[in-house]
Amino acid sequence: MNIPAEFDEIRPYAPEELPQVYEELIADPMFQAVVAQVMPGIPFDMLAAQMRQCKTNLDFQKAFFYKLLKELVQKCAKGIDFDCSAIQDKANHYTFISNHRDIILDAAFLDVLLVDEGMNTVEIAIGDNLLIYPWIKKVVRINKSFIVKRGLSLREQLQSSILMSKYMHFAATEKKENIWIAQRQGRAKDSNDRTQDSILKMMTMAGEGDIIDRLKEMNIVPLALSYEYDPCDYLKAQEAQQKRDDENFKKSPQDDLINMQTGLYGYKGAIHFQTAACINDELEEIRSRNLPKTEVYTVIAELIDKYIHQNYRLYPGNYIAHDLLYNKVEFADKYTTEEKAIFNQYIDGQLAKISIPDKDEAFLRECIWAMYANPVTNHLKAING
């Protein structure tokens, strides 16, 4: 396929580029060290030979990431399930817009689940702030990621958004690829999941026709990701206190690395992914309402949120946290005394991991409760209309 050169800096690698990238990775001592850590006991030469056998990005994903992620679920979770029964035509291509919990695993788990359903894996929007080493940038581009540039001036940001929009439309309409993008920039640190209008505006900077036509071209499917436990909950709470105490606080690349590692290897409990149907029919109905342009984005964002909140799976810990946060026993029928004791013990353990000056335990505890409680509030509002 002839891919326009303007996308070269941000797009995933094409299959013909892979042999050269494999050789660069194989020669990279830092990559060798990471592989030895992640896949101990397997000779690097054998892995290198296996890499060279992978002719496409999907070959590489199936040969390496699929198996690693299946093993990760066995080690770090109770299990994972996927309900995509709302998708009528699995042979079509879709843009999955989801809530965002884990830097790496949200899209990675989706890939595994799509492979199990006989569907194509996704091209993934990933911020360049996470690509802190050359080998990471290469690996994510092999893994069908396209790069979102961060930390730009307003003018550069506009140019970057136009380019990304053009690429996403190209990937959807010409390459017929599935795409994954988070509903907002960065993770929702308090789990109060809301689609940012700016994500939808970026998606309509390119494409054919009006706003609705451009979004319909993407075949948007809202996707709800529910983790029973968020291994990074204490890091998110810690960051909340650091931002509260210092308005100039900014996470470092090292902080991002710690979040990635904690998210990967921390215990997640049960994991559930669930899609709504493609929203194209509802987009057509929104068109018929002749709303002002600014309102159109807000209404579509609220529609995506409604489906994500409705399809969110709630666990006992969510209900317990809601009762603790609001000092009620509203959901006492949703959990046992034993489950409450286990959840409280879990929170105590997470809080014990936080080591910062002037540690405000009451504030930190409330932050973590809110992370687990907010999905309950949103779910109830969505299902009760």
Gap between the Cα atoms of 193 and 177, Å rounded: 26
Nearest Cα to Cα of residue 267 among 120, 78, 131:
78
Mean pLDDT score, 64-75? 95
Token representation of residue 201: 């505006």
Share of the chain above pLDDT 90, in %: 92
pLDDT at 150: 87
Mean pLDDT score, 313-320? 98
181 phi/psi in degrees, rounded to 5: -145, 140
pLDDT at 374: 98
Gap between the Cα atoms of 228 and 335, Å rounded: 14
Tell me the pLDDT tens digit for each residue of 87-103.
999 999 999 999 999 99
Nearest Cα to Cα of residue 80 among 256, 313, 260, 281:
313
Q: How confident is the model at residue 385 (pLDDT cuts 50, 70, 90)?
A: confident
Mean pLDDT score, 99-123? 96
pLDDT at 132: 86
Q: How confident is the model at residue 31 (pLDDT cuts 50, 70, 90)?
A: very high
Please spell the DSSP secondary structure of 123-183, one letter per residue: EEEEEGGG--SHHHHHHHHHTTEEEEP-S--HHHHHHHHHHHHHHHHHHHHTS--EEEEES
Mean pLDDT score, 82-86? 98
Amino acid (1-letter code) at residue 21: V
| Res. 332: pLDDT tops 90 | yes
Neighbours of 143 (CB within 10 A): 23
Share of the chain above pLDDT 70, in %: 100
pLDDT at 365: 98
For the CA atoms of 100, 103, 107, 110, what is the dihedral angle to 10 degrees?
Answer: -80
pTM: 0.95
Report yes or no: 167 and 85 within 8 Å, Cβ to Cβ. no
* Per-domain boundaries in the chain: 5-228+266-312, 317-384
Tell me the pLDDT tens digit for each residue of 163-174.
999 999 999 999
pLDDT at 186: 85
Amino acid (1-letter code) at residue 145: S
Helix (H) or strand (E) holding 67: helix 66-76
Q: Mean pLDDT for the chain? A: 96
One of 2.60.120, 2.60.40, 3.40.1130, 3.40.50 is the CATH number of 5-228+266-312, namely 3.40.1130
Tell me the pLDDT tens digit for each residue of 185-233.
888 999 999 999 999 999 999 999 999 999 999 999 999 999 999 999 9
| Res. 256: pLDDT tops 90 | no
pLDDT at 89: 95
Residue 222 Cα distances to 155, 240, 302, angstroms: 30, 28, 11
Report yes or no: 258 and 299 within 8 Å, Cβ to Cβ. no
Mean pLDDT score, 142-166? 94
Neighbours of 78 (CB within 10 A): 13
Amino acid (1-letter code) at residue 375: P
pLDDT at 122: 98
Tell me the pLDDT tens digit for each residue of 339-377.
999 999 999 999 999 999 999 999 999 999 999 999 999
Determine how β-strand 79-83 pairs with β-strand 178-182. unpaired
pLDDT at 294: 86
For the CA atoms of 332, 338, 342, 343, what is the dihedral angle to 10 degrees?
Answer: 0
For the CA atoms of 124, 129, 133, 139, what is the dihedral angle to 10 degrees?
Answer: 0
| Res. 327: pLDDT tops 80 | yes
Q: How confident is the model at residue 129 (pLDDT cuts 50, 70, 90)?
A: confident
3-state secondary structure of 99: coil
